[in-house]
A and B are shown apart, each in its own frame.
Chain A
Amino acid sequence: MDRPESQSNPFESTPDFDLSDLGTSDPDGNMSAPDNGSRRSRQTLEKLEALGNALPEDGSTVTRLPLQPFDTNPYRDHPPRNTRPSNVTPFPRRDRPKPPERTTTSPSNPVERLKNLSTEALRALRWQWPDPRSISPSRMRVLMVGMILFGGTGLLSWRLFTLQVLQAAELQAKAKGYQELTITPFVPRRSIVDHRGTVLALDRRAYTLYAHPSLFKERPGDIAEKLAPVVDMSTDELMRIFAKGKTGLRLRNRLSEDTASRVRSLNTDGLELVQQASRVYPQQELMADVLGYTDLDSKGQAGLELRWQKLLQRKADPLKFERSSSGVILASPGQGDDDQPQQLTYLDDLKLKLTLDSRLQRAARLALDQTMDQYKAKKATAIVMDARTGALRVLANAPTYDPNRYFDADVANFRNWAVADLYEPGSTFKPLVVAAALESKKIEPTETFNDPGAIQIFDRLIKNYGYPRIPGRGTVSVEDIIQYSSNVGMVRISQRFKPAEFYDWLQRMGLGDKSGVDLPFETASQVRSRAKFLRSPVDRATNAFGQGFSVTPLQLVQMMGTLANGGELVTPHVVEGLMTDDNQPYWQPYRSQPTRLFSKITTTQVVEMMESVVQSGTAKAAQIPGYRIAGKTGTSQKIGSGGVYRKGAIIASFVGILPASNPRYVVAVIVDEPQGGSGGKVAAPPAKMIMETLIALERIPPDAKK
């Protein structure tokens, strides 16, 4: 930039010039005439000459620099310097302090030399403000500009590579979000109706109200005051929620359409209504155990809603449109004009129809509630099954819950006891053992047995109910054994079987398996393992009167169903199928073929024996005038912790079959831990109530007197 004026020694000042000064880049590089050549070129020339002079004259190997061609510059496009008018003085040179004359003899003292050197170096290094009028155009400067431009191009190429390769997928997905409008139409979950078409569950539009305090344009206090009466919440309550966060605060769930429109009419920023489906159960807790409930996202959480989630949740394909930023929906390529309206309007109207009868169910629930109150029982269940098909007409538990307000319910009530819990069936199982013995010809219907009231089996004394208060009845018929529920008689009958044969029978009845009902969370019944059963005569004896194994109430009903339908083991079920609007079946679930256990003769014989139980045995409370009803009571002790029977903790049960003349329905009532009483006393009366309603609803004609 800055050039010292003096060059005392050409060797010393070599960096002060470069040959490019003589080059063609200099606009005023005319050196032909020393008087009008440029100052700088002239200086350079002088330097070169000094350099040349310094070279040895005699050294012919040294080529002198060809100075002459540089002298005339044909590439000049500016007038030479001397054309400047004389009144314009060339800009003044900045006077620089001349470097001190270098002494030929350097000081002998090295410290002094160093001092000298440092002063010179400092002088040389002293920065001077360059002359703003000086200019040194060179090709390097153009190359610098080029480097800046090409550097920019390179950076942009890298940026493009990042965007179009590395982030391409992410950006494409984001762009799709802007370009496509996905509408998920409000598709209500399928309704559920009962056997007679009464609506049990349906979907309704509901709204969840959210608050976003960060978007509030008014004071939160004002908003809370305005909102409180609409959503039925107190101002304080709202303010407390507003204080919780900045955005996404849920104020209320399941607002009705009416309330939602009132919230909308407040025209307040920062409130958001999110539309959703809300499941409504008009019959409230009536069918709760069967239906279950759905959560806020319309996902089934229990019962049929869970088991048949896929069936109930209608598939609503989200509709995709391309849209512009202004919200205009654009026609998308590949989709015909007629497709979309169809897509929008098509909605089937199939309903899920159940076999349950809500009127009968209501009667059953009433009866159960009464019994629960009367005997302060822990829980109770009632089941009515059409034994010909396995269709359940009633499946009621007490206590239960309201699926509309499942969030308030006791979690324990979500468990459907009738299918999920096991108990020892006790005496209600006896008719099945008798049927098995008759079927395999181990006994004759007319045969008699000796009942001393108690019998020693291996290390255990097996007693009748009430023994020794009620002494042994001596010689008893098979019918008597059932009528008086004789444990000893049942042990005698079971002893006719070979152990393995007896076990086979238990297995064929379904012990150890599930009933296969179309409800979730079913538990399999439990029975001794074959090896243990064959080893233990006590097990064989107790199993004969319904102890030592456990079943679900529903499975007992299933097994009793064999007696009511002429010997076939059917699969109990609650779902009849999907029905069209005009009640035509559209789809029905697959059901396995029933397996035959007994012949019709056997079951008729056993049902007749069971009739005597209601007529004159333990279940007189279930008598209905004019109707022949077969039944069997059971009073089993509950097993507490440690496998010991708990004193006073009983399960009272009654299983009835009606009409006995032409058996069809199995009615079971099972009461858990009633305070006192027995099967006949506790469970038979509600069963009678249910059967009365059943007779009325199904219009069962009275029987001729036997």
Chain B
Amino acid sequence: MGWWRSLRQFRKNIKGWAAEARVLRWLTLLWIVLGWAVLLSASYASADLAYGDGLYYCKRQLIWIGIGLVLMQVIAVVPLRVWLRGAPWAVMCALVVLWGLLIPGVGYEVNGAVRWVLVGSVPIQPSELLKPMLVLHSAMALGQWDRLRDRQRWFWLGSVAIALIGILLQPNLSTASLCGISLWLVSLAAGLPLTYLWGTALGGGLLAVISISLRSYQQRRIIAFLNPWADPQGNGYQLVQSLMAIGSGGVWGTGFGLSKQKLANLPIQYTDFIFSVYAEEFGLVGSLLLLGLIAVYGGVGLWVAVKTQSVTVRLVATGSVVFLVGQSLLNVGVATGGLPTTGLPLPFFSYGGSSMLASCILAGLLTRAARESAAPVATFPRQSGGSKNNGFKNNGFKNSDIKNNGSKKASQSAARQFFP
């Protein structure tokens, strides 16, 4: 297959990328840099208290950012079909790890939830890394939905369901519902009949209700969300502190590094409630600018999705946007008290390796989708037109990218190969 050949242009030819791809790449970099700066402010005090080193989290985050940027670039230079082909296998592996966590003693337990698996001494959250895999997996299945056999459709549905249930059992309602909502939006974009989509939404809602009714800590969170001031020292504590932090910011904010709530009142201020620190330090203006950045990111991503000719590429772009932007909105919604308090990280802001890697992979997929959407020559030219460029600019693709595309082997759907 020789897909590794595309890695050769790892550092070259970015100027030849499509405009959308370059814009997305810069927006991602901006988002990452901003996120790291906010993490520096948000985590310094608690890191200093916990480890005697204020930069403890920032240094580690920097390593993850480095790995993430490399991954992002790798993904952006390798054709999507390569990743698409690998997605079902990766999902299967992830499912094994995910369900393996549920065996007592395998996972790494924090606060009563088994969400991490220790790789060496580094805790990795498989549910985070599952997110980009689900995007690819779903894009491939839904991109050729009407040509799949029934059992292939059931295979996709089943793997998604098993993944969601596995996350739900950790328990991690927030990630499960994020994945559920995002996949639902991807399905919406894929054009599945609305009847089924609404049915699924209803079923998902019921599932959430059942999950909440079974776990009292989730019930308490819901009650605390409805009126946090009723119990400001107990269940409403996190939300109340977050609201006070955001409110303290006012219009212009207290200034970078000058949040008072982050000092100790606001809990987990460097992960789930990092937005509250940001909003206190940069005020309404800063918050709206960040929302603007996220909206522009989503806008460009969806523009890519609209523009592309390939349903699969469109779904990859939509899925990446939905996961990155949707998760950001959910996080901000939680911090501002618009949604029940759940533990969702803010992409590129919150401290956490798995989250950073997942976000970078999603950004890489979106960038790649942007490149492929701009390429007028599809990855699977039917006729011998592959070498002819059809009169369009090549947009930075080397012939090696598309050389083999005409072959019969590659033109056979990836679905046939990797769906049982």
Contact = CB atoms under 8 A, between A and B. Distances in A.
A164 B279 contact: yes
A164 B146 contact: no
Contact of A324 (B243, B244, B263): B263
Interface stretch (A52-60, A124-132, A254-262): A124-132
Interface stretch (B24-32, B54-62, B106-114, B190-198): B190-198
Interface stretch (A71-79, A375-383, A630-638): A71-79
A322 B260 contact: yes
Contacts of B125: none
A153 B287 contact: no
B260 A175 contact: yes
B38 interface: no
Contact of B309 (A75, A81, A168): A75
A146 B385 CA distance: 34
13 contacts: A74-B381, A78-B147, A78-B380, A79-B411, A79-B413, A134-B193, A137-B191, A144-B188, A145-B189, A145-B302, A149-B326, A156-B329, A175-B248
Given A79-B413, A150-B298, A172 B263 contact: no
Given A156-B291, A159-B338, A330-B263, A164 B145 contact: no
B354 to A, nearest CB: 23
A46 interface: no
B246 interface: yes
B318 A160 contact: no
A287 to B, nearest CB: 48
B218 interface: no
Nearest to A79: B411
B177 interface: no
B158 interface: no
A172 B247 contact: yes
Contacts of B138: none
Contacts of A460: none
B129 interface: no
A167 interface: yes
B243 A141 contact: no
Given A130-B196, A145-B189, 15 more contacts: A74-B390, A79-B411, A80-B382, A83-B413, A132-B196, A134-B193, A142-B189, A149-B295, A149-B326, A156-B329, A159-B336, A174-B240, A178-B265, A322-B263, A324-B264
Given A135-B145, A179-B260, A163 B314 contact: no
Contacts of B14: none
Interface of A: 1, 24-25, 27, 30, 74-81, 83-84, 88, 129-139, 141-146, 148-150, 152-153, 155-157, 159-161, 163-165, 167-168, 170-172, 174-175, 178-179, 322, 324-326, 328, 330
A145 B315 CA distance: 11
Interface residues of B, number: 77
Nearest to B416: A85
A78 B244 CA distance: 53
Contact of B294 (A30, A153, A168, A326): A153
B250 A164 contact: yes
A137 B191 CA distance: 4
B191 A27 contact: no
B305 interface: yes
A208 to B, nearest CB: 23
B411 to A, nearest CB: 5
Nearest to A89: B149
Contacts of B291: 153, 156-157, 160
Given A79-B413, A142-B314, A164-B283, A171 B247 contact: yes
Max chain A Cβ within 10 angstroms of own Cβ: one of B144, B260, B299, B380 = B260
Is chain B's binding surface mostly helix, strand, loop or mixed? helix
Contact of A160 (B241, B248, B287, B326): B287
Contact of B243 (A153, A171, A330): A171
Contact of B288 (A1, A141, A157): A157
B302 A78 contact: no
A268 B336 CA distance: 38
Interface in B226-269: 240-241, 243-251, 260-261, 263-265
A418 to B, nearest CB: 55
B207 to A, nearest CB: 20
A333 B36 CA distance: 26
Nearest to A81: B147
A81 B411 CA distance: 12
B306 interface: yes
Contacts of B249: 164, 168
B185 to A, nearest CB: 5
B412 interface: yes
A135 B191 contact: yes
B246 A130 contact: no
| 3 cross-chain pairs, A with B, having the tightest CB-CB distances, nearest first | A171-B247, A324-B264, A75-B309
B230 to A, nearest CB: 14
B134 interface: no
A141 B191 contact: yes
A330 B333 CA distance: 31
Given A77-B378, A133-B153, A330-B263, A156 B246 contact: no
Interface string B387-415: 00010000000000000000000011100
Max chain B Cβ within 10 angstroms of own Cβ: one of A143, A148, A164 = A164
A156 B302 contact: no
A179 B258 CA distance: 13
A172 B250 contact: yes
Given A27-B311, A179-B261, A138 B191 contact: yes
